[in-house]
Amino acid sequence: MFTGSCVALVTPFKNGRVDGKTMRELVEFQIENGTSAIVPCGSTGESATLTHAEHHRVVEMVVKTARGRIPIIAGTGSNSTAETISLTRHAKQAGADAALIIIPYYNRPTQDGIAEHFYQVAKTVPIPIIVYNIPSRTGTNLLPSTLARIAARSRNIVGIKESSGDLEQISEIARAFTGKKFSVFCGDDSLTPPVLSIGGKGVISVLANIAPRDVQDLCTSVMQGDPDRAQALHLKMSPLVKALFIETNPGPIKTAMAYLGMCSAEMRLPLFHMRAENKAKLIRAIKAYGLKRPA
């Protein structure tokens, strides 16, 4: 089972190409700071703008750099079942420990279509799969009853990243899987404590790109029953988390990382650089948090 802080890793670019040197440095940074798992090629990793060759390269690079020191959960989802199978098969061959697969987007399949999509992927590629539910990006919400059907039919469906923001729905999922080998991950940094307190096993975090140790400490504090420490960390994080989502992710997190000297802020269109006033708010939040630029 996967638990704790799992970083939704950015994909650094340099002059329009994946920046391999910086990618390797980011992986080492996460390992050094106690992150529980690394998630490349997700929404934060700009998977939607990567070519298949780039997607393959990023997964291979992260796995190779990690050298088995930390689990790698590769984003492999698409709105095409055949494409999802292909990307998932490659992730397994590359040595990833699990796959994070988004609900098919744009097509807006029925619940039956979603269930069949995951069944076909799971039966074709024997790798642990974490379902990724984010209705704001896909246009479709995965119902808890559908998730239960998917998990009952496919034993390698081992968890869900829940980014619906609906605590009632997340509670229903946690209740349905109590006592089972199934991990519920918070998909929203602002909701980590409540999700963990109702049975969640961790968070797939954007904030962990720049504050990995604090996010890991927050997860540990909640799960080990230290509410005072968890509250203090959550309240400290909240203004920065808000600033990191002032515009579409990963714009703000990449801007923050550029400010902190970690990677370029470069993204691919249609993603675009932040508006000046929002960037100023983000930098104020970074300074108030206590993160510092390199000397």
Active-site residue list: 132, 161
DSSP assignment of 77-91 equals: --SSHHHHHHHHHHH
Range list of H helices, the chain: 20-32, 52-66, 81-94, 111-124, 135-138, 144-153, 167-176, 192-197, 212-223, 227-244, 251-259, 276-289
Amino acid (1-letter code) at residue 177: F
C-alpha–C-alpha distance, residues 233 and 215, integer Å: 8
* Residue 295 CA: distances (Å) to CA of 6, 32, 116, 142, 261: 28, 20, 53, 46, 10
Amino acid (1-letter code) at residue 172: E
Amino acid (1-letter code) at residue 3: T
